[in-house]
Amino acid sequence: MDITPTPTELDLRATVAPLLGLEPEAIEPDANLVVLGLSSLEIMRLVSRWRKNKIPVQFDELVAAPTLNGWLAHFASLAAPVSTEPGVA
């Protein structure tokens, strides 16, 4: 089974920093990326890139929590195992 790993915090920093014109280490984990200058169009491009890499990221989830920590939580939820047993939530 081919499983593409989800981005780590370092990966996200390296991906987002050039779009913001910042050094990766300058981005605080809870800093609002939109306030720092990331546009919805750039977020959509990132979503497209991740989906091409078979990561089923959701645009609305990223926009709802536009921080590194928020995005990491979303990626973690995508990687969480889903139970197929009846009656298990």
Instruction: Count structural domains, the chain.
Output: 1
Q: For residues 11 and 72, what is the distance between their CA atoms, to the nearest angstrom?
A: 10
| Res 24 pLDDT > 90 | yes
Higher pLDDT, 3 or 42: 42
Evaluate whether residue 27 is within a structural domain. Answer: yes
Higher pLDDT, 8 or 81: 8
Evaluate whether residue 43 is within a structural domain. Answer: yes
What CATH number does the domain containing 71 carry? 1.10.1200.10
Average pLDDT rounded to a whole number, residues 56-73 = 96
Determine the structural domain holding residue 58 and report its residue range: 9-79
Evaluate whether residue 53 is within a structural domain. Answer: yes
In terms of C-beta density within 10 A (0-12 exposed, 13-18 middle, 19 or more buried), how is residue 69 classed?
Answer: middle
pLDDT at position 14 = 96
| Res 31 pLDDT > 60 | yes
pTM over 0.85: no
Q: For residues 65 and 81, what is the distance between their CA atoms, to the nearest angstrom?
A: 22
| Res 65 pLDDT > 80 | yes
Evaluate whether residue 85 is within a structural domain. Answer: no
